[in-house]
Structure 1
Amino acid sequence: MSTATNTEPTRALQARVEALEIKASYGEDLLETLNLTVYRQQQTIDALVQELRQLRQQLPETGNAGPRSLRDELPPHY
């Protein structure tokens, strides 16, 4: 009878350990997915920052130019 009572707590403990292993596995998978998402977002941010730098370099220096006329802003069809 001591064998039957001994195996029951062992089975319960084994089931709890298996449940924890499953949760840990899902947690690891989620962490890997989140890491990949953050990595891709950082790549996108880096590309956008580089593009912004290039666009700023292409802008003409407006500080040295004289005052602009509203006629300069009119589209050519007027």
Structure 2
Amino acid sequence: MSEDRLNRLEEKLAFQEHSLTEMSDTLYRQQQEIDALKEHQRELAERIRVLQDKGSGASEEEVPPHY
């Protein structure tokens, strides 16, 4: 194998390794963001559930206290 060809292959390999590392880092950051968004969504869903539970305690025919 010629020296020039070997150098080109090494350059390609180095570029691919660098690209793979960048993609892996990006994927990791995206997964962290997805996990944070899922947790935030769970918290919001729980808050909505609590508010709905509080709201369902009052009867629709009941007169509000300010009347």
TM tier relative to shorter chain:
0.7 to 0.9
- 1:61 is displaced (CA, Å) by 3.3
- 1:38 is displaced (CA, Å) by 0.2
SS at match of 2:59: coil
| CA distances 1:32-77 after superposition (whole Å, capped 9, x unpaired) | 0000000000000000000000000001232xx16x6xx85xxxxx
The root-mean-square deviation of aligned C-alpha atoms, in Å, is 1.9
SS at match of 2:53: helix
Gaps of 5+ in 2: none
2:22 maps to amino acid: Y
Q: Given the alignment of the two structures, is residue 25 of structure 1 paired with residue 13 of structure 2, yes or no?
A: no
Give, in whole Å, the separation in 1 of the partners of 2:59 and 2:19: 58
* Identical-residue share of aligned pairs (%): 11
Could you say which residue in structure 2 is the equivalent of 1:37? 33
TM-score (norm 2): 0.85
Superposition map of 1:31-70 within 5 A: 31-59=27-55, 60-62=58-60, 65=61
Give, in whole Å, the separation in 2 of the partners of 1:18 and 1:27: 14
Indicate the structure (1 or 2) with the bigger Cα radius of gyration. 1
| Number of residue-to-residue matches in the alignment | 64
